[in-house]
Structure 1
Amino acid sequence: MEFRTVIRPLCRQGLVEHGSPMLLLGSCFTDNIGKCLRDDLFDVEVNPFGPVYNPMSVLRSLEILRDCQPIREEELIEVEGLYRSFLFHSRYSAVDSAQAADMMAASVLSGHETLKCASVVFLTLGTTRVFRHLASDRIVANCHKQPAKEFESRCLGFDETVAVLAECIELIRGFNPSARIVFTISPLRYLESGAHGNQLIKSTLLLAVDEVVKVFGEDVASYFPAYEIMMDDLRDYRFYAEDMKHPSSQAVEYIYEIFRASYFSPETEKVAAEARALTRRLSHRIVASSTEAGANEIAARQRAIRAITERYPKLTDAIRRYNDKNTLFK
């Protein structure tokens, strides 16, 4: 007898594979799953705009990626000495406007190239609440703590949300006809709208995703139940972070386990386990008692990298990206 609601893995093994590019776009939960996939050395582009929460901002982000639209300096705003964009998270900011615009443009270009050939696009939706910037009459992805009087806030209705999600699917498939789309609903609770308001927001997203999956068919678009795993399977405050809104690292790990069981083939799981062991080693700072000991550890890491890439050549690019400075390849 089970005294909890257990969410079983989906039967979609083989959807996620090494060497097949994937794009992940959406809320901060996307960052969590994206990190797990990076650690398993998958070819992933994760949140090229930073976290994006509402369906309209997700659609706008996809439009920019498809068209590889330039980021103009004059569209940036200065906040606390840093230049930012209403389309990007604050992680894409700099003291110099040209540097900020270049940083954003580079991320857009990388996302454009991934969207063009992605086997799967994961879209994680967090809320239906949108903020319209009154001066520009545009929906923003991030308000950057600007005065509330500069924005108008409202929640998208069911029909609006369905229409926007359908546009997302059509845009992706129009640009990359072979791409599969997987929707998830972020388990992050948006309590700024109150507990009841949060439930209404999540309910609208769940109903809208269910509708577009029915319309387009599961061969095109499907749903991964991250929200249900958090709310119905884990269902305990010990699985939340200290803010009582975000999933804890343990919760993310559990959700990723079900993700792996849902989408990895046995061979992919085997490669991912080896990749995970390697990236854990690479992520540790080298602490050695002598220069010689440090050099020995670098050499050992180089041997480990060569060994895994000889067995699985499709991991080479992912390893290079994982090690930003490429120190271990020199």
Structure 2
Amino acid sequence: MVAKKKREMEFRTVIRPLCRQGLVEHGSPMLLLGSCFTDNIGKCLRDDLFDVEVNPFGPVYNPMSVLRSLEILRDCQPIREEELIEVEGLYRSFLFHSRYSAVDSAQAADMMAASVLSGHETLKCASVVFLTLGTTRVFRHLASDRIVANCHKQPAKEFESRCLGFDETVAVLAECIELIRGFNPSARIVFTISPLRYLESGAHGNQLIKSTLLLAVDEVVKVFGEDVASYFPAYEIMMDDLRDYRFYAEDMKHSSSQAVEYIYEIFRASYFSPETEKVAAEARALTRRLSHRIVASSTEAGANEIAARQRAIRAITERYPKLTDAIRRYNDKNTLFK
């Protein structure tokens, strides 16, 4: 009689990868829009040389600002100088993060317009649009009667704050899906909930906010079907799998780099085919090499390293021509031969 194998004890809830391999592929443009967690995953995808457009407005957190951002991208709406505000000597927009600011209003508007155009082109042909939601709390600018994506530290008296209810959140998310599919019928939408803790609303308030988002996303996924919209459990991985303060950054609100790396591992296992994972591993090795600073490019050793990097880029694009656009985007965001 064969003895039964003793079941190993598990002292944590392990979130298993989804069975959606092939959804994310090299050479297929993707748009990532949402909270600062989007920037984290976007960087991982960029380092793996995927053709991604990440947060063309900077981080946006609430569903209404996500919808407004999508409307601007779809229509490629111009950013007018008269809509900008001056804060501490820099011109900014309530629709954009402060990274899109400049001392000259025309320069700031041009910077924003260029980002909108790039996002418009990506949305038009994206195979997947990832929407990461952070909060249901919205801020309405009283003077303009508009929901803002960023208050830019303006006086609280200039805004009215409230949380969206369940029905309202569902309606906004449904409109996001309809807008994307109306503009790009083949696009797939993947929702995630940001693990970022919004403690400004208190611990209980943060749970209510996340619960509303989770319920609303679940509802729209049911209504539209998983062939159109689906959900990636980044929030659950952080809260139920990792479930430890050591996986938070020093502010105890944001995910640590180790947590992001772990979540991205499950993301890769969920969406990459074996071939895509192979290409991504080679791409990752290249971008890690490129990220190292060349101390003295004018020396013989520096010149040799630059030449070696150029050969490595040529070699990988010859093997995988579909990486060409991603390498160009990576070059736009990074100095490859520094």
Q: Is 1:230 equivalent to 2:272 in the alignment?
A: no
Indicate conservation of the 8 Å contact 2:297/2:303, yes or no.
no
Indicate conservation of the 8 Å contact 2:33/2:60, yes or no.
yes
Indicate conservation of the 8 Å contact 1:127/1:205, yes or no.
yes
Deviation sequence 1:93-152 (CA, Å, 0-9, x none): 000000000000000000000000000000000000000000000000000000000000
- Shift of residue 287 of structure 1? 2.1
- Shift of residue 8 of structure 1? 0.1
Deviation sequence 1:285-306 (CA, Å, 0-9, x none): 1124961111000000011111
Indicate conservation of the 8 Å contact 1:302/1:328, yes or no.
no
For residue 101 of structure 2, give the secondary structure of its aligned residue in structure 1. coil
Instruction: Specify whether residues 2 and 89 from structure 1 end up closer, same or farther in structure 2 by C-alpha distance, changes over 3 A only.
Output: same
For residue 12 of structure 1, give the secondary structure of its aligned residue in structure 2. coil
For residue 236 of structure 2, give the secondary structure of its aligned residue in structure 1. helix
Instruction: Specify whether residues 199 and 325 from structure 1 end up closer, same or farther in structure 2 by C-alpha distance, changes over 3 A only.
Output: closer
Instruction: Specify whether residues 59 and 325 from structure 1 end up closer, same or farther in structure 2 by C-alpha distance, changes over 3 A only.
Output: closer
Deviation sequence 1:158-203 (CA, Å, 0-9, x none): 0000000000000000000000000000000000000000000000
Distance in 2, matches of 1:187 and 1:133, equals 27
Distance in 2, matches of 1:329 and 1:191, equals 41
Distance in 2, matches of 1:5 and 1:27, equals 25
Deviation sequence 1:19-46 (CA, Å, 0-9, x none): 0000000000000000000000000000
Indicate conservation of the 8 Å contact 1:26/1:58, yes or no.
yes
Indicate conservation of the 8 Å contact 1:320/1:326, yes or no.
no
1:128 pairs with one of 113, 133, 136: 136
For residue 162 of structure 2, give the secondary structure of its aligned residue in structure 1. strand
Deviation sequence 1:249-296 (CA, Å, 0-9, x none): 000000000000000000000000000000001111112496111100
TM-score (norm 2): 0.96
For residue 333 of structure 2, give the secondary structure of its aligned residue in structure 1. coil
For residue 329 of structure 1, give the secondary structure of its aligned residue in structure 2. coil
Q: Is 1:200 equivalent to 2:208 in the alignment?
A: yes
Indicate conservation of the 8 Å contact 1:22/1:45, yes or no.
yes
Provide the aligned length of Structure 1 versus Structure 2: 330
Indicate conservation of the 8 Å contact 1:22/1:121, yes or no.
yes
- Shift of residue 207 of structure 1? 0.1
Indicate conservation of the 8 Å contact 1:121/1:182, yes or no.
yes
- Shift of residue 66 of structure 1? 0.2
Indicate conservation of the 8 Å contact 2:130/2:189, yes or no.
yes
Instruction: Specify whether residues 114 and 152 from structure 1 end up closer, same or farther in structure 2 by C-alpha distance, changes over 3 A only.
Output: same
- Shift of residue 320 of structure 1? 1.8
Distance in 2, matches of 1:139 and 1:27, equals 16
Distance in 2, matches of 1:277 and 1:221, equals 32
Instruction: Specify whether residues 87 and 3 from structure 1 end up closer, same or farther in structure 2 by C-alpha distance, changes over 3 A only.
Output: same
- Shift of residue 324 of structure 1? 2.6
- Shift of residue 327 of structure 1? 7.1
Indicate conservation of the 8 Å contact 1:50/1:89, yes or no.
yes
Instruction: Specify whether residues 294 and 178 from structure 1 end up closer, same or farther in structure 2 by C-alpha distance, changes over 3 A only.
Output: same
Q: Which consecutive residues of structure 1, in runs of 5 or more, have no partner in the other structure?
A: none
For residue 105 of structure 1, give the secondary structure of its aligned residue in structure 2. helix
Deviation sequence 1:213-263 (CA, Å, 0-9, x none): 000000000000000000000000000000000000000000000000000
The residue number in structure 1 matching 2:276 is 268
Indicate conservation of the 8 Å contact 1:82/1:93, yes or no.
yes
For residue 18 of structure 2, give the secondary structure of its aligned residue in structure 1. coil
Distance in 2, matches of 1:81 and 1:273, equals 44
Indicate conservation of the 8 Å contact 1:131/1:153, yes or no.
yes
Instruction: Specify whether residues 154 and 286 from structure 1 end up closer, same or farther in structure 2 by C-alpha distance, changes over 3 A only.
Output: same
Indicate conservation of the 8 Å contact 2:33/2:132, yes or no.
yes
The CA RMSD measured in Å over matched residues stands at: 1.4
Distance in 1, matches of 2:78 and 2:310, equals 38
Percent identity at matched positions?
A: 100
- Shift of residue 316 of structure 1? 1.1
TM-score (norm 1): 0.98
Instruction: Specify whether residues 308 and 146 from structure 1 end up closer, same or farther in structure 2 by C-alpha distance, changes over 3 A only.
Output: same
Indicate conservation of the 8 Å contact 2:23/2:271, yes or no.
yes
Indicate conservation of the 8 Å contact 2:51/2:329, yes or no.
no
Indicate conservation of the 8 Å contact 1:84/1:100, yes or no.
yes
The residue number in structure 2 matching 1:302 is 310
For residue 144 of structure 1, give the secondary structure of its aligned residue in structure 2. coil
